[in-house]
Chain A
Amino acid sequence: MKRYVLHVFAYVFLFCGATFAEFRFPMPEFATGYEHPAVHTPGPSNVMVGWDIVVLLATLSLAAFLVLKRRKRREIFLLTLFSLVYFGFWRNGCVCSVGSVQNIMAGLCDPGHGVPLTVLVFFAAPLIFALFFGRVFCAAVCPLGAIQEAVAIKPGNVPLAVEKVLSIFPYIYLGLAMLSVAMGAGFIICQYDPFVGFFRMGASFSMLIFGGLMLVLGIFVARPYCRFLCPYGVLLNWCSKLSRHHATITPTDCIQCELCTDSCPYNAINEPTPEKAPEDRGKGAWRLGILILLVPFIVLLGVGVGSLLKEPLSRMHPTVRLAERIAGEELGRYAETNIESEAFRASDTPDEALYAEAIELKAGFGRGGKWLGAFIGLVMGCKLIAVSILRKRTDYEPDHGTCYSCGRCFKYCPVKE
Chain B
Amino acid sequence: MNEFKQRPIPGLIAQSVAGVAALFSLILCILLSADFVRIQKMDPLNDPHLLELREQLANSTDSDEAAVEQIRTFDLYARRAFFSNQEQRRTGGLLLLGGAVVCFVAFKFSKLWKPKLPAIGKSETPDHGELNALFRQLMAGTGVLLVVLSLFLAFSVQSDLATVLSRQDEGDVEVVPQASSLPPAMKANWPSLRGPGGIGVTHGSIAPTRWDVETGEGVLWETELPVHGFNSPIVWGNRIFMSGADEEGQEVFCFDADTGKPLWTQTVKTSVELPEVSEDTGFAAPTMATDGTRVFAIFATGDLAAFDFEGKPVWQKNLGLPKNPYGMGSSLISDGTRLFVQYDHEDLQKVVALDAATGRPVWETPRKHISWSSPALIETETGVQLLLNDEENVTAYDPVSGKQLWTLECLGGEVAPSPAYNGNGIVFVANEYAQASALKLTEGSPEILWQYDEYLPEISSPLATENLFFITTSAGDVVCLDAATGEVKWEQEFDDGFNSSPILVGTRIYSIDLEGVVHIFEAAAEYKPIASIEMGEPVYATPAFVNGRIYIRGDENLYCIGK
Contacts and interface: CB of A to CB of B under 8 A. Distances in A.
A205 B363 contact: no
Contacts of A311: 153-154, 157-159
B100 A331 contact: no
A11 B18 CA distance: 12
A312 to B, nearest CB: 4
A28 B50 CA distance: 14
B92 interface: yes
Interface in A1-50: 2-3, 6-7, 9-14, 16-20, 22-23, 25-26, 28, 31
B13 to A, nearest CB: 13
Contacts of B142: 165, 168, 380
B272 to A, nearest CB: 12
Given A333-B160, A345-B360, A7 B29 contact: no
Nearest to A12: B29
A28 to B, nearest CB: 6
Interface in B77-110: 79, 82-83, 86, 89-90, 92-93, 96-97, 99-100, 103-104, 107-108, 110
A345 B129 CA distance: 62
A23 B82 contact: yes
A79 to B, nearest CB: 15
Contacts of A95: none
Contacts of B150: 305-306, 308-309
B82 A259 contact: no
Contacts of B363: 350, 352
Mostly, the B contact residues are: helix
Nearest to B158: A311
A240 to B, nearest CB: 21
B125 A160 contact: yes
Interface in B120-150: 120-123, 125-129, 131-132, 134-136, 138-139, 142-143, 146-147, 150
Contact of B135 (A7, A165, A315, A328): A165
Nearest to B94: A201
A285 B135 CA distance: 17
B320 A348 contact: yes
A403 B244 CA distance: 75
A14 B119 CA distance: 34
B153 A14 contact: no
B131 A165 contact: no
B528 interface: no
Nearest to B15: A3
A352 B108 CA distance: 60
A346 interface: yes
B364 interface: yes
Interface string A318-343: 00100110011011010000000000
A282 interface: no
Contact of B138 (A165, A263, A355): A165
Interface in B14-73: 15, 18-19, 21-23, 25-26, 28-30, 32-33, 36, 39, 45, 68
Interface stretch (B161-169, B258-266, B289-297, B444-452): B161-169
A327 B161 contact: yes
Given A9-B22, A350-B362, A411-B3, A359 B82 contact: no
B128 A278 contact: yes
B139 A274 contact: no
B19 A6 contact: yes
A412 interface: yes
B29 A13 contact: yes
Contact of A13 (B25, B134, B362): B25
Contacts of B319: 348
A305, A315, A349, A388 interface centre (most CB from chain B within 10 Å): A305
A10 B99 contact: yes
Contacts of A261: 119, 122-123
Given A25-B82, A161-B131, A348-B364, A7 B107 contact: yes
B33 A16 contact: yes
A98 interface: no
B89 A20 contact: yes
Given A17-B92, A390-B128, A355 B157 contact: no
A14 B364 contact: no
Contacts of B383: none
Nearest to A388: B132
A161 B138 contact: yes
Given A3-B15, A14-B29, A348-B352, A308 B151 contact: yes
B526 interface: no
B30 A13 contact: yes
B118 interface: yes
Interface string A153-186: 1000001111011001000000000000000000
Nearest to A345: B360
Interface in A269-320: 271, 273-274, 278-279, 298, 301, 305-306, 308-309, 311-312, 315, 320
Nearest to B141: A165
A253 interface: no
A106 interface: no
Nearest to A9: B26
A22 B22 contact: no
Interface in A380-394: 380, 383-384, 387-388, 390
Contacts of A351: 360-361
Contacts of A259: 118-120
B135 A3 contact: no
A260 interface: yes
Given A9-B22, A14-B97, A278-B127, A20 B86 contact: yes
A136 interface: no
A111 B362 CA distance: 35
B111 interface: yes
A331 B97 contact: no
B509 to A, nearest CB: 38
A151 interface: yes
Interface in A344-396: 345-346, 348-353, 355, 358-359, 376, 380, 383-384, 387-388, 390
A343 B150 CA distance: 33
Contacts of B25: 9-10, 13-14
23 contacts: A6-B22, A11-B100, A12-B29, A14-B29, A17-B89, A23-B86, A25-B79, A28-B79, A151-B104, A153-B107, A160-B125, A201-B97, A205-B36, A259-B119, A262-B119, A274-B127, A298-B143, A345-B360, A346-B317, A348-B352, A376-B146, A380-B142, A384-B135
Given A16-B32, A278-B129, 20 more contacts: A7-B18, A10-B22, A13-B28, A13-B29, A13-B30, A13-B32, A17-B89, A18-B93, A161-B131, A161-B134, A161-B138, A262-B123, A278-B127, A298-B143, A305-B146, A309-B154, A312-B153, A323-B161, A350-B361, A350-B362
Instruction: Give me the 5 closest cross-chain CB pairs, A-B, nearest first.
Output: A13-B29, A17-B32, A6-B22, A308-B154, A350-B361
